[in-house]
Structure 1
Protein backbone atom coordinates (compact mmCIF):
# COMPACT_ATOMS: atom_id res chain seq x y z
CA UNK A 1 0.00 0.00 0.00
CA UNK A 2 1.55 3.35 -1.01
CA UNK A 3 2.42 5.82 1.71
CA UNK A 4 0.27 8.88 2.18
CA UNK A 5 1.56 12.44 1.89
CA UNK A 6 1.37 12.74 5.68
CA UNK A 7 3.47 9.59 6.16
CA UNK A 8 6.13 10.91 3.78
CA UNK A 9 6.19 14.18 5.73
CA UNK A 10 6.57 12.31 9.02
CA UNK A 11 9.48 10.32 7.58
CA UNK A 12 11.08 13.49 6.24
CA UNK A 13 10.78 15.23 9.62
CA UNK A 14 12.13 12.20 11.47
CA UNK A 15 15.16 12.10 9.15
CA UNK A 16 15.80 15.83 9.63
CA UNK A 17 15.65 15.38 13.40
CA UNK A 18 18.27 12.62 13.17
CA UNK A 19 20.49 14.86 11.04
CA UNK A 20 20.04 17.84 13.38
CA UNK A 21 20.84 15.78 16.47
CA UNK A 22 23.93 14.19 14.90
CA UNK A 23 25.23 17.47 13.46
CA UNK A 24 24.77 19.41 16.70
CA UNK A 25 26.59 16.74 18.69
CA UNK A 26 29.49 16.62 16.24
CA UNK A 27 29.78 20.39 15.74
CA UNK A 28 29.87 20.92 19.51
CA UNK A 29 32.30 18.12 20.36
CA UNK A 30 34.82 18.39 17.55
CA UNK A 31 34.09 21.71 15.86
CA UNK A 32 32.57 22.72 12.56
CA UNK A 33 35.80 22.46 10.58
CA UNK A 34 36.58 18.92 11.78
CA UNK A 35 33.10 17.59 10.99
CA UNK A 36 32.36 16.34 7.47
CA UNK A 37 29.03 15.35 5.94
CA UNK A 38 29.95 11.65 5.81
CA UNK A 39 30.50 11.63 9.57
CA UNK A 40 27.18 13.41 10.12
CA UNK A 41 25.39 10.83 7.97
CA UNK A 42 27.10 7.93 9.77
CA UNK A 43 26.22 9.34 13.19
CA UNK A 44 22.62 9.92 12.11
CA UNK A 45 22.43 6.35 10.80
CA UNK A 46 21.51 7.36 7.26
CA UNK A 47 23.17 7.31 3.85
CA UNK A 48 25.09 10.34 2.66
CA UNK A 49 22.78 10.47 -0.36
CA UNK A 50 19.77 10.87 1.93
CA UNK A 51 21.55 13.63 3.83
CA UNK A 52 22.25 15.49 0.57
CA UNK A 53 18.56 15.25 -0.30
CA UNK A 54 17.87 17.43 2.73
CA UNK A 55 20.98 19.65 2.74
CA UNK A 56 23.16 20.54 -0.21
CA UNK A 57 26.08 21.65 1.99
CA UNK A 58 27.33 21.42 5.56
CA UNK A 59 27.07 25.20 5.74
CA UNK A 60 23.35 25.07 4.87
CA UNK A 61 22.78 22.57 7.69
CA UNK A 62 24.76 24.68 10.18
CA UNK A 63 22.80 27.78 9.13
CA UNK A 64 19.49 26.00 9.72
CA UNK A 65 20.55 24.85 13.19
CA UNK A 66 21.57 28.37 14.20
CA UNK A 67 18.35 29.78 12.77
CA UNK A 68 16.38 27.20 14.79
CA UNK A 69 18.18 28.31 17.95
CA UNK A 70 17.43 31.95 17.14
CA UNK A 71 13.72 31.19 16.81
CA UNK A 72 13.80 29.79 20.33
CA UNK A 73 15.36 33.00 21.64
CA UNK A 74 12.72 35.05 19.84
CA UNK A 75 9.98 33.04 21.56
CA UNK A 76 11.63 33.79 24.92
CA UNK A 77 11.67 37.49 24.09
CA UNK A 78 7.97 37.42 23.20
CA UNK A 79 7.14 35.65 26.46
CA UNK A 80 9.14 38.12 28.56
CA UNK A 81 7.38 41.02 26.83
CA UNK A 82 3.90 39.55 27.39
CA UNK A 83 3.18 41.67 30.49
CA UNK A 84 2.54 38.65 32.72
CA UNK A 85 3.94 38.32 36.26
CA UNK A 86 7.76 38.67 36.11
CA UNK A 87 8.26 35.96 38.71
CA UNK A 88 5.89 33.55 36.96
CA UNK A 89 7.59 34.17 33.61
CA UNK A 90 11.03 33.65 35.13
CA UNK A 91 9.89 30.52 36.99
CA UNK A 92 8.48 29.08 33.78
CA UNK A 93 11.64 29.85 31.82
CA UNK A 94 13.94 28.39 34.49
CA UNK A 95 11.77 25.27 34.77
CA UNK A 96 12.04 24.76 31.01
CA UNK A 97 15.82 25.19 31.11
CA UNK A 98 16.05 22.78 34.05
CA UNK A 99 13.99 20.05 32.39
CA UNK A 100 15.73 20.47 29.02
CA UNK A 101 19.15 20.19 30.67
CA UNK A 102 18.09 17.19 32.76
CA UNK A 103 16.37 15.25 29.99
CA UNK A 104 18.61 15.69 26.97
CA UNK A 105 21.48 17.44 25.25
CA UNK A 106 19.67 19.58 22.69
CA UNK A 107 19.52 22.83 24.69
CA UNK A 108 23.15 22.60 25.80
CA UNK A 109 24.27 21.82 22.25
CA UNK A 110 22.20 24.66 20.77
CA UNK A 111 23.62 27.19 23.23
CA UNK A 112 27.20 26.11 22.52
CA UNK A 113 26.51 26.02 18.78
CA UNK A 114 25.24 29.60 18.83
CA UNK A 115 28.26 30.72 20.81
CA UNK A 116 30.59 28.98 18.36
CA UNK A 117 28.80 30.58 15.44
CA UNK A 118 29.06 34.05 16.96
CA UNK A 119 32.77 33.67 17.67
CA UNK A 120 33.54 32.10 14.28
CA UNK A 121 31.76 34.85 12.35
CA UNK A 122 32.86 37.76 14.54
CA UNK A 123 34.98 39.24 11.74
CA UNK A 124 32.40 38.63 9.03
CA UNK A 125 29.71 40.99 7.85
CA UNK A 126 26.86 38.60 7.20
CA UNK A 127 23.13 38.77 7.89
CA UNK A 128 22.96 35.76 10.22
CA UNK A 129 25.76 37.06 12.44
CA UNK A 130 24.08 40.46 12.65
CA UNK A 131 20.73 38.86 13.49
CA UNK A 132 22.32 36.76 16.24
CA UNK A 133 23.86 39.88 17.78
CA UNK A 134 20.57 41.76 17.63
CA UNK A 135 18.47 38.92 19.06
CA UNK A 136 20.91 38.28 21.92
CA UNK A 137 21.05 41.99 22.74
CA UNK A 138 17.26 42.20 22.66
CA UNK A 139 16.91 39.18 24.94
CA UNK A 140 19.29 40.78 27.43
CA UNK A 141 17.32 44.04 27.31
CA UNK A 142 13.91 42.45 27.87
CA UNK A 143 15.26 40.24 30.65
CA UNK A 144 16.73 43.28 32.40
CA UNK A 145 13.36 45.02 32.08
CA UNK A 146 11.60 41.95 33.47
CA UNK A 147 13.93 42.02 36.46
CA UNK A 148 13.32 45.76 36.99
CA UNK A 149 9.57 45.17 37.00
CA UNK A 150 10.03 42.32 39.46
CA UNK A 151 12.11 44.59 41.68
CA UNK A 152 9.39 47.24 41.62
CA UNK A 153 6.88 44.58 42.70
CA UNK A 154 9.14 43.57 45.58
CA UNK A 155 9.76 40.04 44.23
CA UNK A 156 13.31 40.36 42.90
CA UNK A 157 16.44 41.32 44.81
CA UNK A 158 17.78 44.85 44.56
CA UNK A 159 20.68 45.47 42.21
CA UNK A 160 21.54 46.56 38.71
CA UNK A 161 18.99 44.72 36.55
CA UNK A 162 21.25 44.49 33.52
CA UNK A 163 24.11 43.04 35.57
CA UNK A 164 21.74 40.45 37.02
CA UNK A 165 20.52 39.58 33.50
CA UNK A 166 24.11 39.15 32.29
CA UNK A 167 24.88 36.89 35.26
CA UNK A 168 21.72 34.89 34.59
CA UNK A 169 22.62 34.08 30.98
CA UNK A 170 26.29 33.56 31.79
CA UNK A 171 25.18 30.91 34.29
CA UNK A 172 23.01 29.15 31.69
CA UNK A 173 25.85 29.18 29.14
CA UNK A 174 28.29 27.89 31.75
CA UNK A 175 25.93 25.07 32.70
CA UNK A 176 25.60 24.11 29.03
CA UNK A 177 29.38 23.88 28.76
CA UNK A 178 29.61 21.81 31.94
CA UNK A 179 26.89 19.42 30.74
CA UNK A 180 28.83 18.67 27.58
CA UNK A 181 32.16 18.36 29.44
CA UNK A 182 30.99 16.32 32.43
CA UNK A 183 28.43 14.16 30.59
CA UNK A 184 26.94 11.64 33.07
CA UNK A 185 28.69 13.37 35.99
CA UNK A 186 26.80 16.62 35.34
CA UNK A 187 24.28 17.70 37.96
CA UNK A 188 21.86 20.52 37.13
CA UNK A 189 21.15 22.93 40.02
CA UNK A 190 17.50 22.97 41.08
CA UNK A 191 15.36 25.89 39.91
CA UNK A 192 15.30 27.30 43.46
CA UNK A 193 19.10 27.32 43.63
CA UNK A 194 19.38 28.73 40.13
CA UNK A 195 17.10 31.68 40.94
CA UNK A 196 18.39 32.31 44.48
CA UNK A 197 20.41 35.34 43.37
CA UNK A 198 17.34 36.85 41.65
CA UNK A 199 14.49 36.45 44.14
CA UNK A 200 14.03 37.99 47.53
CA UNK A 201 14.00 35.47 50.36
CA UNK A 202 10.54 34.28 51.29
CA UNK A 203 8.96 35.39 47.99
Structure 2
Protein backbone atom coordinates (compact mmCIF):
# COMPACT_ATOMS: atom_id res chain seq x y z
CA UNK A 1 0.00 0.00 0.00
CA UNK A 2 1.26 3.49 -0.71
CA UNK A 3 2.05 5.56 2.32
CA UNK A 4 -0.66 7.81 3.71
CA UNK A 5 -0.83 11.16 2.01
CA UNK A 6 0.87 10.00 -1.17
CA UNK A 7 -1.74 11.80 -3.28
CA UNK A 8 -0.71 15.06 -1.65
CA UNK A 9 2.72 14.74 -3.27
CA UNK A 10 1.13 14.49 -6.73
CA UNK A 11 0.07 11.30 -8.42
CA UNK A 12 2.53 11.68 -11.28
CA UNK A 13 5.41 12.22 -8.85
CA UNK A 14 4.60 8.86 -7.28
CA UNK A 15 4.24 7.23 -10.71
CA UNK A 16 7.64 8.62 -11.64
CA UNK A 17 9.31 7.47 -8.42
CA UNK A 18 8.04 3.97 -9.04
CA UNK A 19 9.29 3.98 -12.63
CA UNK A 20 12.68 5.26 -11.51
CA UNK A 21 12.89 2.48 -8.93
CA UNK A 22 12.04 -0.25 -11.43
CA UNK A 23 13.49 1.00 -14.70
CA UNK A 24 16.49 2.97 -13.46
CA UNK A 25 17.16 1.03 -10.23
CA UNK A 26 16.44 4.05 -8.07
CA UNK A 27 16.83 7.84 -8.16
CA UNK A 28 20.63 8.01 -7.96
CA UNK A 29 21.26 7.73 -11.68
CA UNK A 30 23.11 9.98 -14.07
CA UNK A 31 21.37 12.89 -15.77
CA UNK A 32 22.04 11.18 -19.10
CA UNK A 33 20.18 8.05 -18.00
CA UNK A 34 17.27 10.15 -16.85
CA UNK A 35 17.24 12.12 -20.10
CA UNK A 36 17.13 8.91 -22.15
CA UNK A 37 14.36 7.66 -19.90
CA UNK A 38 12.26 10.80 -20.41
CA UNK A 39 12.86 10.82 -24.16
CA UNK A 40 12.48 7.15 -24.99
CA UNK A 41 10.39 5.42 -22.32
CA UNK A 42 7.06 5.39 -24.11
CA UNK A 43 5.19 3.89 -21.16
CA UNK A 44 6.17 7.03 -19.26
CA UNK A 45 4.81 9.16 -22.12
CA UNK A 46 1.43 7.42 -21.95
CA UNK A 47 1.13 7.88 -18.18
CA UNK A 48 2.26 11.50 -18.46
CA UNK A 49 -0.41 12.23 -21.09
CA UNK A 50 -3.11 10.78 -18.85
CA UNK A 51 -1.94 12.75 -15.80
CA UNK A 52 -1.76 15.93 -17.88
CA UNK A 53 -5.35 15.38 -18.98
CA UNK A 54 -6.46 15.04 -15.36
CA UNK A 55 -4.57 18.22 -14.45
CA UNK A 56 -6.09 20.10 -17.39
CA UNK A 57 -9.58 19.06 -16.30
CA UNK A 58 -8.97 20.43 -12.80
CA UNK A 59 -7.48 23.60 -14.26
CA UNK A 60 -10.60 24.23 -16.33
CA UNK A 61 -12.68 24.21 -13.14
CA UNK A 62 -10.48 27.03 -11.76
CA UNK A 63 -9.75 28.99 -14.93
CA UNK A 64 -11.91 28.27 -17.95
CA UNK A 65 -9.67 29.93 -20.54
CA UNK A 66 -6.41 28.32 -19.43
CA UNK A 67 -8.21 25.04 -18.84
CA UNK A 68 -9.63 24.94 -22.36
CA UNK A 69 -6.16 25.67 -23.80
CA UNK A 70 -4.64 22.90 -21.67
CA UNK A 71 -7.36 20.47 -22.70
CA UNK A 72 -6.72 21.34 -26.35
CA UNK A 73 -3.06 20.49 -25.88
CA UNK A 74 -4.05 17.28 -24.11
CA UNK A 75 -6.35 16.36 -26.99
CA UNK A 76 -3.48 16.52 -29.50
CA UNK A 77 -1.12 14.71 -27.13
CA UNK A 78 -3.64 11.96 -26.44
CA UNK A 79 -4.48 11.51 -30.14
CA UNK A 80 -0.79 11.01 -30.82
CA UNK A 81 -0.56 8.52 -27.95
CA UNK A 82 -3.46 6.55 -29.40
CA UNK A 83 -2.10 6.65 -32.94
CA UNK A 84 1.54 5.91 -32.16
CA UNK A 85 1.38 3.76 -29.03
CA UNK A 86 -2.13 2.29 -29.40
CA UNK A 87 -2.90 3.18 -25.79
CA UNK A 88 -5.79 5.24 -24.46
CA UNK A 89 -6.09 6.10 -20.77
CA UNK A 90 -9.29 8.15 -20.71
CA UNK A 91 -8.84 11.35 -18.71
CA UNK A 92 -12.10 10.71 -16.86
CA UNK A 93 -10.68 7.50 -15.41
CA UNK A 94 -9.75 7.98 -11.76
CA UNK A 95 -6.43 6.16 -11.34
CA UNK A 96 -4.50 6.40 -8.09
CA UNK A 97 -0.77 7.07 -7.73
CA UNK A 98 1.87 4.48 -8.51
CA UNK A 99 0.46 3.52 -11.93
CA UNK A 100 2.87 1.35 -13.92
CA UNK A 101 2.47 0.31 -17.55
CA UNK A 102 4.72 -2.67 -18.19
CA UNK A 103 3.95 -2.66 -21.92
CA UNK A 104 1.83 0.14 -23.33
CA UNK A 105 0.50 -1.29 -26.59
CA UNK A 106 -3.23 -1.96 -26.73
CA UNK A 107 -4.10 -0.66 -23.25
CA UNK A 108 -7.60 0.85 -23.19
CA UNK A 109 -9.01 2.26 -19.94
CA UNK A 110 -12.45 3.86 -19.86
CA UNK A 111 -13.89 6.03 -17.06
CA UNK A 112 -13.19 3.41 -14.41
CA UNK A 113 -11.97 3.90 -10.84
CA UNK A 114 -8.59 2.28 -10.13
CA UNK A 115 -6.68 2.42 -6.86
CA UNK A 116 -3.01 3.00 -6.16
CA UNK A 117 -0.12 0.80 -7.31
CA UNK A 118 -1.89 -0.71 -10.29
CA UNK A 119 0.21 -2.59 -12.86
CA UNK A 120 -1.15 -2.91 -16.40
CA UNK A 121 0.28 -5.06 -19.17
CA UNK A 122 -0.33 -4.92 -22.92
CA UNK A 123 -3.74 -5.38 -24.54
CA UNK A 124 -5.69 -4.77 -21.34
CA UNK A 125 -9.22 -3.39 -21.71
CA UNK A 126 -11.13 -1.88 -18.78
CA UNK A 127 -14.55 -0.39 -19.45
CA UNK A 128 -18.28 -0.88 -19.98
CA UNK A 129 -19.98 -4.17 -20.78
CA UNK A 130 -22.26 -2.74 -23.46
CA UNK A 131 -23.34 -6.10 -24.92
CA UNK A 132 -25.31 -6.86 -21.74
CA UNK A 133 -26.69 -3.35 -21.43
CA UNK A 134 -24.39 -2.73 -18.46
CA UNK A 135 -23.20 0.85 -18.83
CA UNK A 136 -21.36 0.79 -15.52
CA UNK A 137 -17.58 0.62 -15.26
CA UNK A 138 -15.29 -1.34 -12.95
CA UNK A 139 -14.03 -0.21 -9.57
CA UNK A 140 -10.59 -1.70 -9.02
CA UNK A 141 -8.81 -1.59 -5.67
CA UNK A 142 -5.25 -0.89 -4.63
CA UNK A 143 -2.25 -3.10 -5.51
CA UNK A 144 -3.92 -4.89 -8.42
CA UNK A 145 -1.81 -6.60 -11.09
CA UNK A 146 -3.53 -7.06 -14.47
CA UNK A 147 -1.88 -9.36 -16.98
CA UNK A 148 -1.65 -9.22 -20.78
CA UNK A 149 -4.89 -9.48 -22.74
CA UNK A 150 -7.20 -9.20 -19.73
CA UNK A 151 -10.67 -7.69 -20.19
CA UNK A 152 -12.47 -6.24 -17.15
CA UNK A 153 -15.91 -4.85 -17.86
CA UNK A 154 -19.15 -3.73 -16.29
CA UNK A 155 -20.17 -2.35 -12.90
CA UNK A 156 -18.02 -4.77 -10.92
CA UNK A 157 -15.62 -4.49 -7.99
CA UNK A 158 -12.13 -5.96 -8.01
CA UNK A 159 -10.78 -6.10 -4.47
CA UNK A 160 -7.43 -4.84 -3.20
CA UNK A 161 -4.41 -6.99 -3.94
CA UNK A 162 -6.02 -9.02 -6.73
CA UNK A 163 -4.06 -10.62 -9.54
CA UNK A 164 -5.82 -10.88 -12.89
CA UNK A 165 -4.08 -13.50 -15.02
CA UNK A 166 -3.28 -13.08 -18.70
CA UNK A 167 -6.26 -13.53 -21.01
CA UNK A 168 -8.87 -13.30 -18.26
CA UNK A 169 -12.33 -12.00 -19.19
CA UNK A 170 -13.83 -10.72 -15.96
CA UNK A 171 -17.39 -9.46 -15.55
CA UNK A 172 -18.21 -10.20 -11.91
CA UNK A 173 -17.00 -9.09 -8.50
CA UNK A 174 -13.94 -10.73 -6.98
CA UNK A 175 -12.83 -10.44 -3.34
CA UNK A 176 -9.50 -8.95 -2.22
CA UNK A 177 -6.24 -10.89 -2.69
CA UNK A 178 -7.73 -13.24 -5.27
CA UNK A 179 -5.89 -14.86 -8.14
CA UNK A 180 -8.31 -14.70 -11.05
CA UNK A 181 -8.14 -16.42 -14.43
CA UNK A 182 -10.12 -17.88 -17.30
CA UNK A 183 -12.98 -16.90 -19.59
CA UNK A 184 -15.28 -16.23 -17.88
CA UNK A 185 -12.98 -15.12 -15.08
CA UNK A 186 -13.16 -17.01 -11.81
CA UNK A 187 -11.22 -17.11 -8.56
CA UNK A 188 -8.44 -19.67 -8.82
CA UNK A 189 -6.82 -19.01 -5.45
CA UNK A 190 -7.59 -16.95 -2.36
CA UNK A 191 -5.15 -14.98 -0.19
CA UNK A 192 -2.74 -14.77 -3.12
CA UNK A 193 0.33 -12.62 -2.43
CA UNK A 194 1.22 -10.44 -5.43
CA UNK A 195 3.59 -8.08 -3.61
CA UNK A 196 6.61 -9.17 -5.63
CA UNK A 197 4.70 -8.43 -8.83
CA UNK A 198 3.46 -5.03 -7.69
CA UNK A 199 6.77 -3.63 -6.37
CA UNK A 200 5.47 -1.29 -3.68
CA UNK A 201 6.74 2.26 -3.39
CA UNK A 202 8.38 2.73 0.00
CA UNK A 203 7.74 5.84 2.16
CA UNK A 204 10.59 7.91 0.70
CA UNK A 205 9.42 7.04 -2.81
CA UNK A 206 12.74 5.62 -4.01
CA UNK A 207 12.11 1.97 -4.61
CA UNK A 208 10.28 -1.26 -3.89
CA UNK A 209 10.12 -2.62 -0.37
Bin for the TM-score computed over the shorter chain: under 0.3
Q: Which has the higher contact order (CA 8 A, sep 6+)?
A: 1
Q: Which has the higher helix share?
A: 1
Q: Which structure would you say has the larger Rg? A: 1
Q: How high is the TM-score relative to the length of structure 2?
A: 0.25
Q: How high is the TM-score relative to the length of structure 1?
A: 0.25
Q: Which has the higher strand share?
A: 2
